[in-house]
Copies of this chain bind each other. A is one copy, B any other.
Amino acid sequence: MSSDLTTGRLSVYLRCLNYLEQEGVETVSSQELAEKFHLNSAQIRKDLACFGEFGTRGVGYNVNRLKAQLVHTLGIDRKRNVLIVGAGNLGMALADYRGFNSTGFEIVALVDIDPEKAGRASRSGIPVKPYSRLAEVVRENAAEIGVIAVTPESAQEVHDALVAAGVLAILNFAPVQLRTQPRVKVKTVDLRINLESLSFFLKNIEDGTL
């Protein structure tokens, strides 16, 4: 009934609603939402209808109530603990990244294979622990989400270690095709693929193909 695409859009709607709330808007129709944020009104209605009847016919949606519904639907009405594996440039940046360390999520720790790094902390104070203690760290902090921010070479091993430690949701930044478990959800954010896609676009402009 609801795919990854649908839930991705729920996040987008939630962001739009936050914005409208700040503006003091109390009620919004799918039309208005669509026009203001370049979406399709039918799709908004259909997406929302997947999870209940949130609107009022003839009126629209109550911003506060819809927001609360989406927060609940997305499961961020309670805190989820996040563990980052790899305290390199990327891992450290993610640990301190505002948009990452936000409503519903808390980065509880980083782990790194380099013993030098263990004991230190990120700029905002998130502690770095030894990779060897990964399973313990997951357990002690009740981490539910693992972030892979290591080299492509180690990514599979880290994935397996996270799964073995009981983590069921993983965000992977390593540019590799991971062998995954069916029970575990892995989302990969591949920066290189994004850049290559932009390069493809530029090339087509040059060639006059587009």
Residues of A within 8 A of B (CB): 4, 7-8, 10-12, 14-16, 37-38, 73-76, 80, 82, 89-90, 92-94, 96-100, 102, 104-105, 123, 144-145, 151-152, 168-171, 174-177, 179, 185, 187, 189-206
Chain B residues with CB under 8 Å of A203's CB are 73-75
Which residues from B are CB-within-8-Å of A192?
11, 99-100, 102
With A89-B97, A99-B152, A187-B194 in contact, is A199–B16 under 8 Å at CB?
no
Q: Assembly of this chain: how many copies?
A: 2
- Sample 24 A-B pairs with CB under 8 A, ordered by A number: A4-B197, A11-B196, A12-B193, A15-B175, A15-B176, A15-B177, A16-B177, A73-B203, A74-B199, A74-B200, A74-B203, A75-B200, A75-B206, A92-B93, A93-B94, A94-B191, A99-B174, A99-B191, A144-B202, A145-B195, A168-B201, A169-B201, A171-B194, A187-B198
Inter-chain CA distance A36–B99, complex, in Å, is 36
| Interface residue from B104, B187, B196 paired with A197 (Cβ < 8 Å) | B187
Asked if A123 contacts B89 (CB within 8 A), the reply is yes
Q: Which residue in B7, B15, B168, B189 is a CB contact (below 8 Å) of A191?
A: B189
- Does the CB pair A196–B98 fall under 8 Å? no
Q: Which residue of B lies closest to A39 (CB)?
A: B177
- Tell me if A177 and B38 are in contact (CB < 8 A): yes
With contacts A15-B175, A200-B7 taken as known, whether A97 is within 8 angstroms of B189 at the C-beta atoms is no
Check A198/B177 contact, CB under 8 A, given A90-B97, A191-B189, A193-B8.
no
